[in-house]
Every structure is written in structure tokens, then in C-alpha cells.
Amino acid sequence: MANTLTSMIISPQSMGLNLQSPSGGPSTTTTSTLLHGVPNFQVQHDYVPVMSSKRIATWRYLQRMYQGGMVLYNTAMLSESELRRSYPTDDKIQRRTLNYFLLGTSLAPVLEIPNITDMLKALVVVVQEYEFFASESKSKMMFLRATSRKALSLDGKATEETGEYTLLEVRQVPFSLDYVITFSSLCDTIAQVYEKITSEERFWTLTCTEMFQKIDLRFKKIMMSACKELETMARDTLADELNAIDPLSAFTQRDDGDM
């Protein structure tokens, strides 16, 4: 069931997109992407708009899901209270919430960059710095404790060792963040990023397409993690409902698992 739901979330058909050529066969863009990873020079004009449309639909759907009261692909309704129960306020969730908060607040200024190419360059920096920040929890906590004694390297540039970032806005938050609200806001911000990227007609060069793919890959990791968690919540909700109807089914499922 998990694989089915995930494929529905990221498949073009589930988003109302038709990636077939007029003759009925697969589109050149899709075929090129599958074979080479990076679309070739002739077809990349279509690649970024099509992929962005899929991502916008998915991120907007995730945003609505985390606002609560929606049915996850006709399987189970997840209320806002159920979402919050699934994310306990432990240190792990708090760190992840802080990461998402900092990413969202760092993306907002980038959206104000008028030139799309310059915006893509800034986005690459933001997502790379975010990935380093999120993976180095110890360095992150050292940075938060030592913000008052930052040091620059000899050439005046920020370095990873000093805990400084060029575009990722790292700050202390004097209060606890709500994971559900924070992630819903991040979904909205990332959707706006894709909308801004495709806000104007342009020819996508190979360099810009590769920058887009780097950004999209890092956003996709966050998206897939959220999709898997929603699928787990939906399965648990369905199991609880079935057990409420037939309490003996819980023992039957347990016995089947032991076998």
C-alpha cells in the first residue's frame, strides 16, 4: 500500500498531466530524462515546466493535507489533532521543525530575486547549505551557542568550520515551533519557488536545467519523507477504525504476523 500511495503522489497521471506525444507514445522529454538523467539540449525547454507543474501540484496537496481534515487519496481522513499526535514534541522532531523553519525563512528572500537565473544560483546555495546544516547536528548546536563569537577566515569568506552561512538564515528561536504549522508553511513556500521558476516563458539552457535538477532533488527528499509519514498515518488510522468495528481483528492480524 505504501508503494502504491507514493507512486500516486509523484506520478504525472495523478496530477492530471499527460506526458505522451500526440502520436500516443511516450514524450521525448520523459524518454530522454529516463535514459540520461539530464534532458538533452533539444527537449529541456519542456522538461522544467512539466516537472515544476508536477511538483507544484504535489506540494500544494501536501500543504492541504497538513492543514488537516483531508482524506489521503480516498484511504483515511487525517485530522489536525491526529497529525500532531503523530509528531511528538521530542528533540528529534524539534530539530527537524527548526530545520524546516530555517529553510522556509531562507527561501523567502530568494523569491524576491527578479532574474530567474540568479534566483536558481541562490537556490542552489540555500539547499546546499541547508543540507550541510541539517546533516551536522553537532555543528549546528555549536553554531547556535556561539553566534556571538563568529569568526571569518583569512580571506573574509564564510566557512563551514566557523558555522557561518551565506544565504541560509540561521538564528535562535526563543520558543517551541509547531511541526504541523511549520511544515505546512514550508510546503507553501516551496510551491511558490516552483511557481516563480516557471512564471515566465524562457528557453532553458543546460546549465539552468542542471541547477533546477539539483534544487529539485533536495526538495524531493523532503517531499518523499512527508509522503511516507502520511502513508503510515493513514494505515494506522485505518487499522484503528477496523479494530473499532471488529476488536478481534487486532488479534487476528497479530497472529498472522507471528506466522
Contacting residues for 154 by C-beta, under 8 A, at least 6 apart: none
pLDDT of residue 248: 65
Distance, CA of 73 to chain centre: 19
User: Domain residues for 81?
Assistant: 2-258
Residue 27 has φ and ψ, to the nearest 5°, of -70, 155
Q: Using an 8 Å Cβ cutoff, are 146 and 65 in contact?
A: no
Q: How many domains does the chain have?
A: 1
pLDDT of residue 200: 87
Q: Quick check: pTM over 0.85?
A: no
- What is the DSSP pairing of strand 70-71 with strand 77-78? antiparallel
Go through the chain and tell me how many residues it has: 259
pLDDT of residue 180: 93
Q: At CA 8, angle to CA 182 and CA 238, rounded to 5?
A: 75
pLDDT of residue 76: 84
Residue given cell 532553458 in the structure block: 204
HSE (side-chain half, CA atoms, 13 Å) at 176: 10
Q: How far is 134 from 173, CA to CA, in rounded Å?
A: 16
At residue 183, the 3 state secondary structure works out as helix
Residue given cell 524576491 in the structure block: 112
Rounded average pLDDT per 10-residue block, the chain, 259 residues: 43 44 44 45 72 96 91 84 84 91 96 96 96 73 48 36 76 89 97 95 90 96 94 86 71 52
